[in-house]
Every structure is written in structure tokens, then in C-alpha cells.
Homo-oligomer: A and B are copies of this chain.
Amino acid sequence: MALVVQKYGGSSLESADRIKRVAERIVETRRAGNDVVVVCSAMGDTTDELLDMARQVNPEPPERELDMLLTAGERISNALVAMAIESLGEQARSLSGSQAGVITTSAHQNARIMDVTPDRVREALDEGQVVMVAGFQGVSQESKDITTLGRGGSDTTAVAVAAAMGADVCEIYTDVDGVYTADPRIAKDAKHLDRVTYEEMLELAATGAKVLHLRAVEYARRYAVPLHVRSSYSSKPGTIVSGSVEDLSVEQAMITGVAHDRSEAKVTVRGVPDSRGVAGRIFRAVADAEIDIDMVLQNVSGVASGRTDVTFTVAKSNGAEAVAELEKIKDEVGFQEVVYDDDVGKVSLVGAGMRSHPGVTAAFCEALSDSGVNIEIINTSEIRISVLVRESQLEDAVSTLHSAFELGGEEDAVVYAGSGR
């Protein structure tokens, strides 16, 4: 008998009919002889609706109360799925994050899981129950207040519960049947991947692949929980995420895929005095506003002028704030101007094979150059190359790289879509 943890996203639960379908799949897994723990997100748009109500009574709702409010969404979906399971003749019990022992930090809206003490989950499993654990939520170790885990929270709950219980697999059900070599809406011949390592999945998730959330993959890697990404709407085999690039032989280590991301904007600080510590001051001003910087480019200074440009990318949603923070230190730092440009896109090539093939970066740049795509910033890790390009050239860049590295399959792929939290 295996222990299976399953996670279902909000769009898989958006109506009574979809809830019943999810319940059928859970019951099927149970009747195949498995112990089953299920983590559900809130139904469809529940979270957005609750947020909207909150803003109507308080334009800046306090985070502690926002957590109390939003966690109602997962309690509702969990209880409904439990009821649907019982109507199919199996026993089910829903637990809140707190009841399931999901202990977190006190950072409301963005808490981290510190520990999972799943005594009540185990007890209920021993009684033959399917156990529902409300995703996205926990209880603060310090204040005993209800917390939420931020974006991707339900994925993280599922992985954390799977890790704490030593589950055989953590199945993530979503709109798509797994991970592809590229977005099939752009690369028509994108190929389904049966298996990727944690490191490759991390790089893909970090560079725009929406199928899994970064934090959940990080958690799975740390505790070696095998993830299985599957579609809620089909019985296709999906993609297994497990193992390390370290364990791959040279033959196995390939180029995995191409990811892209339209969520970033480019900020250029022009005419920065070329003296020590000035770039640091600029990045510190942005960091102090809790804005993450992704790619960075610092031009070589013009010898004559003694001035240089500093360029970096931030999430578009933080763009206005980043510019405002920089304007505040303009006179003090003595730069000339800030230029904001959100007409950019990021394309990344990911694959364990890069480690043993030093020619990949060259081939990557040549391919883009041959098809007329201009690279504005480049940034690499051991198994990833990312470049910033014009937004209008983003799809071309994806197709070009997908072809150049021969990632396509023989058939056209099924439609691919993003997934919820």
C-alpha cells in the first residue's frame, strides 16, 4: 500500500460538477489500495472575490485579517470535496491547515512552513479515511494566528505534508498534463517531458513555466519528494519531477526546454557616476522597498565621461514603485535619469546537458543572432541561459531556440495553459 498525496488547483474545483470529478479520481486512487491525502486550493475565483470584498471595507486590509478571510476559501473547497467523496461511499475527513499541523512563521500573507506535525492526518488515515488538508494555510508557531503561504501556497502545503509523512509521491493536478519543452501555443511541436530533475524544474519554474511554483519545487528537492504533475481532465501519464542532475549520466543530460516570461520590466539608470559603492546604493534603494531584482547589466564606463549606466529587471507589478524609489535618491547619488521599459520579455534555455557541453552558450547566441533577435541582457547559471529581448521578438526567440536545440517532437502538442496557486 502506497501513501499518495494529491493536490488539486482552483480551476479543477470551480463548480459542483468539477468537484464531483475530482472526488471520483480520489476515490479511484483510494480503491486502488492507496492511503490518500488530498490538498485543495480554493474554488475557482473565490480568493479574488474575497479580496475584492476586503478592499471594499478597507482599501489596505490588515494582513492578519486578510489571512483569516482568505483561508475560508480552502476550508470551503476541502469540506465540499470531502462531502463528494462520502457520497461515493468512501469516508473522508477535512482538516484545516492548523488541524493538520502545518506550523509556519508569523509572516502573514507570505508565511514559510517551519514544521508539519501530521498526527491527526495519520490518525484519520489509520481509521481508513481519505484526509483532506486545506492548502495555502497554516498556523503561526509564535502567535497561534492563522497564516497564508503566498503564491503557490497549496502546492507547497502538498509537498510539505508529503515530506512530513514520507509519501511515495505527491501528485500535482493542474490544467495541463505535465511539463513541455516549450509553451505549445508558441512552439507547435513542443514535446511532453516524462521526467525532469529538481534542478531543471527549479530553473524552468523560476524563468516562467507556470505549471509548478518555485517554492514547492524547492521544498520537494530539499526533502526528495517525487512530484508528479498531471492533468485533472485526462489520465495521461504526466511528468515526474525527481532526482538530481548530479546523478544523470552524460547521455541522459540533455537540453530540457525553453521557458519564457512576460512579467518583467527593464529599468535603466543613466549617467551614474563611476565611483565605488554607487551601484550598491542603487540596488539597496530597490531592495529596501522589498522589490526583487532579477537580471543585472552594468556597462563599462565611458573613459571620457566617468559615467556609466546600470540596467536591471524587476517584476512589472513593482515597476512604478522601483522608479519612485530611485527618483528619491537621484540628487544624492548624482545620476542623470531613470528609464523604464516594459516592452521586454525574457527567454531561457534550461538543461542539465549544459554542464558538459560548453558550446551551448555560443550556439544559443548564434541562433538568436541568425534570426535577428537582439540580446539586451544575458544571465546564466550552470544549467540555464536567460536573455532579455524585445517583447515583440519573444515568440520568435522561443521558436528559434526550440528548433535550434532540436527540442520538438513529431506531433503537435495539446494546448497548454497556466495554472492557479
Chain A residues within 8 Å of B, Cβ to Cβ: 16, 19-20, 23, 50, 53-54, 56-62, 64-66, 68-69, 71-73, 75-76, 78-84, 86-87, 92-94, 96, 99, 120, 144, 146
Partner of A83, one of B65, B71, B144: B65
A181 CB to closest chain B CB, in angstroms?
38
Cβ–Cβ < 8 Å partners of A66 in chain B: 79, 83
Cβ–Cβ < 8 Å partners of A59 in chain B: 87
**Most chain-B CB neighbours within 10 Å: which of A61, A68, A76?**
A68
Known: A69-B75, A71-B75. 12 other contacts (CB 8 A): A54-B80, A60-B87, A61-B86, A65-B93, A66-B83, A68-B75, A68-B79, A69-B79, A69-B83, A72-B73, A72-B79, A96-B146
Cβ–Cβ < 8 Å partners of A68 in chain B: 75, 78-79, 82, 94, 96
A100 to B16, CA, bound (A): 33
Copies of this chain, count: 2
A69/B58 in contact, CB under 8 A:
no
Kindly report which residue of chain B lies nearest to residue A72, judged by CB atoms.
B72
- Say whether, besides A16-B57, A19-B57, A99-B144, A50 and B76 are in contact (CB < 8 Å): yes
Cβ–Cβ < 8 Å partners of A56 in chain B: 16
A58/B84 in contact, CB under 8 A:
yes
B84/A57 in contact, CB under 8 A:
yes
Kindly report which residue of chain B lies nearest to residue A75, judged by CB atoms.
B72
**Most chain-B CB neighbours within 10 Å: which of A69, A76, A83, A99?**
A83
A99 to B82, CA, bound (A): 24
Partner of A64, one of B16, B54, B80, B93: B93
A83/B99 in contact, CB under 8 A:
no
- Say whether, besides A69-B75, A75-B68, A80 and B94 are in contact (CB < 8 Å): no
B72/A86 in contact, CB under 8 A:
no
17 contacts between A and B (CB under 8 A): A20-B57, A53-B80, A54-B80, A54-B83, A57-B87, A61-B83, A62-B82, A65-B80, A66-B79, A66-B83, A68-B78, A68-B82, A68-B94, A69-B75, A72-B75, A72-B76, A120-B144
Looking at chain A's contact residues, the main secondary structure is helix
Cβ–Cβ < 8 Å partners of A96 in chain B: 68, 146
- Say whether, besides A72-B75, A99-B144, A65 and B53 are in contact (CB < 8 Å): no
- Say whether, besides A16-B56, A80-B57, A99-B144, A86 and B65 are in contact (CB < 8 Å): yes
A234 CB to closest chain B CB, in angstroms?
22
A58/B72 in contact, CB under 8 A:
no
**Most chain-B CB neighbours within 10 Å: which of A73, A80, A86, A87?**
A80
B83/A16 in contact, CB under 8 A:
no
A65/B50 in contact, CB under 8 A:
no
A279 to B335, CA, bound (A): 98
Kindly report which residue of chain B lies nearest to residue A94, judged by CB atoms.
B68
B94/A65 in contact, CB under 8 A:
yes
A69 to B81, CA, bound (A): 11
Cβ–Cβ < 8 Å partners of A65 in chain B: 79-80, 82-83, 86, 92-94
Cβ–Cβ < 8 Å partners of A71 in chain B: 75
Cβ–Cβ < 8 Å partners of A94 in chain B: 65, 68
A97 CB to closest chain B CB, in angstroms?
12
Kindly report which residue of chain B lies nearest to residue A20, judged by CB atoms.
B57
A413 CB to closest chain B CB, in angstroms?
33
A82 to B69, CA, bound (A): 10
- Say whether, besides A87-B57, A144-B99, A69 and B80 are in contact (CB < 8 Å): yes
**Most chain-B CB neighbours within 10 Å: which of A19, A50, A69, A99?**
A69
A57/B72 in contact, CB under 8 A:
no
A66 to B76, CA, bound (A): 9
A41 CB to closest chain B CB, in angstroms?
15
A61 to B92, CA, bound (A): 12
Kindly report which residue of chain B lies nearest to residue A98, judged by CB atoms.
B98
